[in-house]
Amino acid sequence: MNKNTVIKDIDEITDTYCNDCPIKRELRNIRGKSGAHRFCIEHCSVGAQLKFLGNELMKIYEK
């Protein structure tokens, strides 16, 4: 994987699943921005994929 591919994948996922996510919107109202973010990272399968891609991106930058 290269940097541009990973960034493109992240953008596509967030545009497709995250930007209009009703769960994220509701949790932001209840728990605030950081609470919603924590849910996405720890419990959402899309968030897990984004976390994986972020880690891949970090590996590219560490080289």
Q: Is the pLDDT of residue 18 over 90?
A: yes
Domain ranges of the chain: 3-62
Residue with tokens 């976390």: 51
**Is pLDDT of 61 > 90?**
no
**Is it the case that residue 56 has pLDDT exceeding 90?**
yes
**Tokens representing residue 8 in the block:** 């493109």
The full 3-state SS of 26-39, as one line of letters, equals: HHHHHHHHHHHHHH
What integer best gives the mean pLDDT of the chain? 95
Residues 6+ apart with CB under 8 A from 20: none
Q: Which pTM does this prediction carry?
A: 0.84
Which of 19, 23, 50, 52 lies closest to 35, judged by CA? 23
User: How does residue 10 score in pLDDT terms, banded at 50, 70 and 90?
Assistant: very high
For residue 63, the SS3 value is: coil
